[in-house]
Amino acid sequence: MADLKYKVIVGLEIHVQLCTKSKMFCGCAVEFGAEPNSRVCPVCLGMPGVLPVMNKQAFEYAVMVGLALNCRIPMFTKWDRKSYYYPDLPKNYQISQYDLPLSENGYIEIPLESSQTKRIGIIRAHLEEDAGKNLHATGNFSQVDLNRTGTPLLEIVTEPDMNSGAEVRALAVELQRMVRFLGVSEADMQKGHMRFEPNINLIITRGDGEFRTPITEIKNLNSFRALERSVNYEAQRQLDEFIETGIVMEMGNKTTRGWDDEKEVTVLQREKEEAHDYRYFPDPDLVPVELTQQWLDEIKSRLCELPLKKQMRYVQEYCLSDYDAGVLTADRSTADFFDEAVKAGGEPKRLCNLITQTGLKITKEKNCSINDLSVTPQSLADLAKMVEDSIISAGSAATIFEAMVETGKEPDVLAQELNLIQKSDAGELEKIVDTVLMENPQAVEDVTSGGKKEKKAMGFLLGQVMQKTKGQANPKVVSEILAKKLG
């Protein structure tokens, strides 16, 4: 079908588990990895006669995300019951929000490979309680762990504005950075803190008109890799099916598919329910939530500079590469540490190199954040200044940084103790240069002849001086002396 063209259309539903200490409507602890069914009570188990009470912090966290997503925040919102039966839902309904969500009509900017950004619309972000977890690891039967039941869960629904698996992945990555920066979720996908459900269909055009394939939803993806690959596979599957059957398809009910990570294929599960199938109605046990302007302003005051905006500022203001700026803003503690070190007088590019090449390697080895190291932003700024002032070399700076972590000492003290201060005394270095020139007449001839070997020979002579001084000579001063003596 040479005249066939198509466009991939993807919207995304994201479930984010909020990192409150207790559950959404009861006082049970939110704790990953606890003994199954040990973090439950009559309220989250749905026992007769119990009454839920809203977790205020969870609501405030959800509003913070709504504000960060540029959403409209209504001053009035309510709770609804979403009725369906599943073994991990002990009440046979889920407390959620239906027609009056706590935030709606927003957008998020995502980075593209072209170093530009794309705006993705946000339809709504609403708060609900999570279900439990079905376990299938023992024998030929399933078990249910209800510890997760009632955990605060923020569901974010995007407009179908994405057109590839790469864009969907970019949005998921950006959203993970955002909720971590805000401090509202650990967003650890291996622990189920973030789960993704893309909705995919195609707009296909050919000679006889334009057609849309039915929407497919892929359930419960918990990795960026699975998210991107499942979207790409499903788009291709729908296209192949259209080409193979030649049938003009009409939009029908959604179908739900799962993702087989080993075979890397989607698998049909069921037809998707519509909203009326859930029999939504206002929860009679919970009062609506009415925001005051004072309360909303207090929540707004907790917002910080968001990661993508910070990343773009680093590129524009400090001339960092997009990659380096992305590494620094992958974690808020790292970005805040970098900002403080810049304020303390450190040169941004030098600080970036020290943090990304040495600091983050150490934090990975120690499994901690940069704030847990015994190095202050001021001390790292001082170390960066020593390199800029040619007191120490860049290589020595890495050695001193590691020693600062282990000893807690200041960089100038360690530079003395480790004998890493560069020799910049021109008179002393000139004698060493003279010795090197006398010992290497062939290299001297290669430089003075001005042939193809000149650059390599000059580098060799510089290396010989560095070797004789055990790396302590200031390369800039040595280069100036060599240039003067060799014309």
More confident position, 317 or 461: 317
The answer to whether residues 412 and 433 belong to one domain is no
Predicted pLDDT at 463: 83
Predicted pLDDT at 251: 53
pLDDT exceeds cutoff 70 at 231: yes
Average pLDDT, the chain: 91
The answer to whether residues 98 and 193 belong to one domain is yes
Predicted pLDDT at 472: 75
Which residue among 295, 319, 345 closes a domain? 295
The answer to whether residues 273 and 232 belong to one domain is yes
| Assigned domain for 363 exists | yes
Question: What average pLDDT does the segment 269-282 reach?
Answer: 79
Predicted pLDDT at 1: 55
The answer to whether residues 274 and 348 belong to one domain is no
The answer to whether residues 74 and 207 belong to one domain is yes
| Assigned domain for 69 exists | yes
Predicted pLDDT at 266: 95
Predicted pLDDT at 481: 77
Predicted pLDDT at 248: 54
| Assigned domain for 300 exists | no
Q: Where residue 272 falls among pLDDT bands split at 50, 70, 90?
A: low
More confident position, 382 or 396: 382
pLDDT exceeds cutoff 90 at 124: yes
Give the rounded distance of the alpha carbon of 128 from its chain centre: 23
The answer to whether residues 122 and 183 belong to one domain is yes
Predicted pLDDT at 447: 77
| Assigned domain for 240 exists | yes
Which residue among 370, 399, 417 closes a domain? 417
Q: Where residue 274 falls among pLDDT bands split at 50, 70, 90?
A: low
pLDDT exceeds cutoff 80 at 477: no
Q: Where residue 173 falls among pLDDT bands split at 50, 70, 90?
A: very high
Question: What average pLDDT does the segment 91-98 reach?
Answer: 96
Predicted pLDDT at 273: 61
pLDDT exceeds cutoff 80 at 445: no
- Provide the sign of the torsion angle of the four alpha carbons 53, 56, 57, 63, taken in this order: positive
Q: Where residue 256 falls among pLDDT bands split at 50, 70, 90?
A: very high
Predicted pLDDT at 252: 58
| Assigned domain for 302 exists | no
The answer to whether residues 258 and 135 belong to one domain is yes
Which residue among 295, 325, 354 closes a domain? 295
The answer to whether residues 347 and 401 belong to one domain is yes
The answer to whether residues 407 and 461 belong to one domain is no
Residue 194's domain comprises: 5-295
| Assigned domain for 301 exists | no
| Assigned domain for 104 exists | yes
pLDDT exceeds cutoff 90 at 136: no
Question: What average pLDDT does the segment 235-263 reach?
Answer: 82
Identify the CATH number of the domain in which residue 445 sits.
1.10.10.410
Predicted pLDDT at 216: 95
Q: Where residue 325 falls among pLDDT bands split at 50, 70, 90?
A: very high
The answer to whether residues 271 and 330 belong to one domain is no
The answer to whether residues 35 and 90 belong to one domain is yes
Question: What average pLDDT does the segment 328-335 reach?
Answer: 95
| Assigned domain for 38 exists | yes
Q: What is the 3-state secondary structure (H, E, C) of the chain?
A: CCCCEEEEEEEEEEEEECCCCECCCCCCECCCCCCCCCCCCCCCCCCCCCCCCCCHHHHHHHHHHHHHCCCECCCEECCEEEECCCCCCCCCEEEECCCCCCEEEEEEEEECCCCCEEEEEEEEEEEEECCCEEECCCCCCCEEECCCCCCEEEEEEECCCECCHHHHHHHHHHHHHHHHHHCCCCCCHHHCCEEEEEEEEEEEEECCEEEECCCEEECCECCHHHHHHHHHHHHHHHHHHHHHHCCCCCCCCCEEEEEECCCCEEEEEEECCCHHHHCCEECCCCCCEECCHHHHHHHHCCCCCCHHHHHHHHHHHHCCCHHHHHHHCCCHHHHHHHHHHHHCCCCHHHHHHHHHHHHHHHHHHHCCCHHHCCCCHHHHHHHHHHHHCCCCCHHHHHHHHHHHHHHCCCHHHHHHHCCCCCECCHHHHHHHHHHHHHHCHHHHHHHHHCCCCHHHHHHHHHHHHHHHCCCCECHHHHHHHHHHHHC
The answer to whether residues 342 and 264 belong to one domain is no
Predicted pLDDT at 221: 96
pLDDT exceeds cutoff 60 at 425: no
Q: Where residue 435 falls among pLDDT bands split at 50, 70, 90?
A: confident
More confident position, 16 or 395: 16
Q: Identify which of 267, 244, 273, 212 has the alpha carbon closest to the alpha carbon of residue 83.
A: 273
Domain count, the chain: 3
